Structure 1
Amino acid sequence: MMDSHKQLFFLSFLPLLLLLLSGHMGLQLTEAHLQRHEMNYPPKMLLVFGDSYVDTGNTRIDQAGSWKNPYGVTFPGKPAGRFSDGRVLTDFIAKYLGIKSPVPYKFRKLMLKQLKSGMNFAYGGTGVFDTSSKNPNMTIQIDFLKQLIKEHVYTTSDLNNSVAYVSVAGNDYNFYLATNGSIEGFPSFIASVVNQTVTNLLHIQRLGVRKIVVGGLQPLGCLPSSTALSSFQQCNSTFNDLIGLHNKLLNQAVTKLNQKSKDNSTFIVLDLFDTFMSVLNHPSTNNIKDPLKPCCVGLSSQDFCGSVDERNVKQYKVCDSPKSAFFWDLLHPTQAGWHAVYNKLQTTTSALRRLRY
Structure 2
Amino acid sequence: MYSYNTLFTLLSLFVILYLSGQRGLQVEGGKTKNGPKKLFVFGDSYCDTGNIKKGIANSWGKPYGVSFPGKPVGRFSDGRVFTDFIAKYLKLKSPIPFSLWKLAPNRLKYGINFAFGGTGAFDTLYGPNLTTQIGSLEKLIKDKVYTASDLNHSLALVSVAGNDYNHYLTTNGSLTGLIPFVVSLVNQTTNDLIRLKGLGVNKVVVDGLQPFGCLPIQTAPFSFQKCNETANQISSLHNNLLIDSVNKLNNQNKDHPSFIILNFFDSFTSVLKNPSKYNIQNPLKPCCVGVSSEYSCGNVGKNNVNKYTLCDDPKKAFFWDIVHPSQAGWHAVFEELKKTEALRQIRHH
User: TM-score under structure 1 normalisation?
Assistant: 0.87
* Partners of 1:205 and 1:265 within 8 A in 2: no
1:77 Cα deviation after fit: 0.2
Deviations 1:83-111 (A, max 9, x none): 00000000000000000000100001011
Any conservation in 2 of the 1:64–1:306 contact (CA below 8 Å)? no
Task: Give distance in 2, aligned partners of 1:39 and 1:156.
Answer: 18
Residue aligned with 1:269, SS: strand
Q: Deviations over 1:223-267 (max 9, x none)?
A: 011111111111111111121000000001000000113883510
Q: Which amino acid aligns with 1:84?
A: S
* 8 Å contact kept, 2:51–2:99: yes
- Give the corresponding residue for 1:68: 61
Confirm whether residue 237 of structure 1 aligns to residue 221 of structure 2: no
**Cross-structure match for 2:281:** 289
Query: Which whole-Å deviations, capped at 9, do the CAs of 1:291-316 have from their partners, x for residues lacking one?
Result: 10000011111100000113322111
Give the CA deviation at 1:184.
Answer: 3.0
Distance in 1, matches of 2:201 and 2:254, equals: 13
Q: What residue number does 2:162 align with?
A: 170
Using a 3 Å threshold, how does the CA distance of structure 1 residues 263 and 137 change in structure 2: closer, same or farther? farther
Q: Which residue of 1 aligns with 2:110?
A: 117
Q: 2:98 aligns with which of 83, 100, 105?
A: 105
> 2:338, 2:176 → 1: CA distance?
37
User: 2:250 matched to which residue of 1?
Assistant: 258
Identity over aligned pairs, percent: 59
Measured after TM superposition, the shift of residue 182 of structure 1 is 2.3
**Which residue type is aligned with residue 49 of structure 1?**
F
By relative contact order (CA 8 Å, sep 6+), the higher-ranking structure is 2
Secondary structure, aligned partner of 2:41: strand
Provide structure 1 residue ranges, at least 5 long, that are not aligned to the other structure: 1-37
- CA shift for structure 1 position 39: 4.7
Q: Is 2:347 aligned against 1:352?
A: no
Corresponding position of 2:81 = 88
Residue 194 (structure 1) shift: 0.2
Letter in 1 for 2:229: S
Match of 2:41 among 40, 48, 57: 48
Letter of the aligned partner of 1:353 in structure 2? R
- Displacement after TM superposition at 1:41 (Å): 1.0
1:46–1:117 contact (8 Å) kept in structure 2: yes
Alpha-carbon offset, residue 324 of structure 1 = 0.4
Corresponding position of 2:196: 204
Equivalent position to 1:131, from 113, 118, 124: 124
Could you give the per-residue CA deviations for residues 17-37 of structure 1, whole angstroms, max 9, x where no partner exists?
Answer: xxxxxxxxxxxxxxxxxxxxx
Do 2:65 and 2:78's aligned partners in 1 also have CA atoms closer than 8 Å?
yes
- State whether residues 210 and 265 of structure 1, in contact with CA within 8 Å, keep that contact through their aligned partners in structure 2: no
**What does residue range 273-284 of structure 1 map to in structure 2 within 5 Å?**
273-284=265-276
Indicate the SS of the match to 2:331: helix
2:102 is paired with a residue whose SS is coil
Separation of aligned partners in 2, 1:307 and 1:321: 20
- Secondary structure at the residue paired with 1:240? helix
**Alpha-carbon separation, structure 2, partners of 1:288 and 1:309:** 31
After TM superposition, the structure 1 = structure 2 runs for residues 30-41 of structure 1, keeping only pairs within 5 Å, are 39-41=32-34
Alpha-carbon distance between aligned partners in 2 of 1:217 and 1:158, rounded to the nearest angstrom: 29
Task: Name which of 302, 306, 323 aligns with 1:310.
Answer: 302
- Structure 1 CA distance for aligned equivalents of residues 172 and 122 of structure 2: 16
Q: What is the SS of the residue equivalent to 2:231? A: helix
SS of the residue aligned with 2:155?
strand
> What is the CA–CA distance in structure 1 between the aligned matches of 2:304 and 2:103, rounded to whole Å?
31
Residue deviations 1:64-83, cap 9 Å, x none?
22111100000000001100
Is 1:329 matched up with 2:324? Answer: no
State the distance in 1 between where 2:258 and 2:235 align.
24
| Code of the aligned partner of 1:352 | L
| Paired residue secondary structure (1:289) | coil
* TM-score normalized by the length of structure 2: 0.89
> Equivalent residues in 2 for 1:138-149 (5 A)?
138-149=130-141
Unaligned runs of 5+ in 2: 1-30
Number of residue pairs matched by the alignment? 318
Q: How big is the shift at 1:317? A: 1.1
CA deviation after TM superposition for structure 1 residue 132, in Å? 1.8
> Which residue of 2 is the match for residue 214 of structure 1?
206
- The CA distance in 2 between the partners of 1:64 and 1:356, in whole Å, is 33
State the Cα distance separating 1:345 from its structure 2 match.
0.6
